[in-house]
Amino acid sequence: MSNRAERIAVTGMAINTPLGDTPQAFLEALLAGRSALTRWKRLDTSRIYSKVGADLSDYDVTKKLGELEGKVPPDVHKRLRRLIAKAPWSTKLSMLLAVDGYRDAGLFSAGIDTDRVAAIVAGHNINFNYQYENRLQFAEEPDFMDPLLALTGLDTDHAGSVSEVLQVRGPIYTVGAACASGNHALRMAIDEVRHHGMKAAMVVGAVLDFSPVELHAMALMGAISFESFHDEPWRASRPFDVRREGFVPAHGGGVLVIEKWDDAVARGAKIYAEVLGVECNADGNHLPQPSAEGQARLMNRTLEVCGLRPADVDYVNAHATSTPLGDLTELTSIKAVFGEHAKKLKINATKSMLGHTCWAAPTVESVAAIMQMNAGVLHPSINVDERDPAVDLDVLTQGPVKHQVEVCMKNSFGFGGINSVSIFRRAR
């Protein structure tokens, strides 16, 4: 058994978004201020209001399989090819991400007993569109639906598929906490390493496979952007701008691999960053009404647990979804926690380019934050054509900006009043 004081290292990362499927390509696109948003490509949007999103539906799975050949053990690649052949689309991407992250961490050659490796999938109701299409088929002819739906329609199939392809035999499970899922999963991964004897733990932020039903429901709720930017989709996600009208749904996934710091150093692993802590709380309100009090209370608690003062934080990768209420609520909570230091913070919105990858957002945006921290340069928040007058902090509307970051805070807040905050330190 180990204790909370043991340091935690991030030793592997993987990413898959329309901006790139390697961390470096992802970083370069972010620094260039490139938007991932287009009109939806393969979803039937004829009867729904949502027309715009960050779409991975044409991602070349076969090409990625080919790129991994020779970079991973032959038996792993063989299992990956076999499992991908019949898996639902999002599960295919989870396996590719997991193999890529495991490879990046150097775990294939680390000699670690896979009985002591955990795999945690962040998200819930992941295969929405797969289930939707099978229900359409059921309505037309029940015997023609996918007979594997009873298995592959479950979120746990993501975890089971990752376990099989990597032959990971430690704990595997899913963590559902809406758009805070990735941070909650990272918290569980730290617990597996610190308190349950795991030598490594992997967080897989799964790609949410939206169906027309969820997209239309979110539009009817008023949560997503659908009114103004059908002909200019790249402008639709605009945190901090006066014309923001809701978040923009996005395909995207990521992986973080963590280990005890001393173990990583002992095996000569590449260390991207140190995880100082991840904390979570709730607002006591299931409606999508963000609470500045709840967010501020959690930020303060996370700083306390990590042994930090507000002045120790250099950079906040904001939740910043591009909703009228959410963006200002988060900035209000930041000012309440950081006081005068808030004016010195660098704050940016990865979602301004990527849209909202929902369950995977904390993982995807942690990869973005860590890559920026190590590069010493921060990406812009794009589409802030007319800053909301209430936005009085440095949200990096002009960029990229060179800035040496030692400590980064990553905020993620989900439907259901679910809040999470993680803090990373540059590897020393």
pLDDT at 4: 58
- pTM (2 d.p.): 0.97
How far apart, in whole angstroms, are the C-alpha atoms of residue 286 and residue 72?
44
pLDDT in tens, 274-284: 999 999 999 99
pLDDT in tens, 31-62: 999 999 999 999 999 999 999 999 999 999 99
How far apart, in whole angstroms, are the C-alpha atoms of residue 271 and residue 370?
11
- Distance, first Cα to last Cα, the chain: 25
Residue among 218, 220, 280 nearest 248 (CA):
218
Peptide bond just before 380 cis, omega within 30 deg: no
CB 215, CB 224: distance < 8 Å: yes
> What is the domain partition of the chain in residue ranges?
8-273, 277-426
Task: Give whole-number Cα distances, 29 to 168, 178, 319, 379, in Å.
Answer: 33, 26, 19, 9
pLDDT at 399: 82
Residue among 208, 1, 28, 12 nearest 108 (CA):
12
Written as one string, the DSSP assignment of 168-203 is --S-EEEE-BTBTHHHHHHHHHHHHHHHS--SEEEE
Task: Give whole-number Cα distances, 274 to 6, 54, 187, 288, 360, in Å.
Answer: 11, 30, 13, 32, 20
How far apart, in whole angstroms, are the C-alpha atoms of residue 279 and residue 299?
8
pLDDT at 288: 87
- Which residues does the chain have with pLDDT short of 50? 1-3
Assess if CATH 3.40.47.10 describes domain 8-273.
yes
Residue among 374, 275, 393, 385 nearest 331 (CA):
393
Residues annotated as part of the active site: 179, 319, 356
* H helix and E strand count, the chain: 14, 14
Assess if CATH 3.40.47.10 describes domain 277-426.
yes
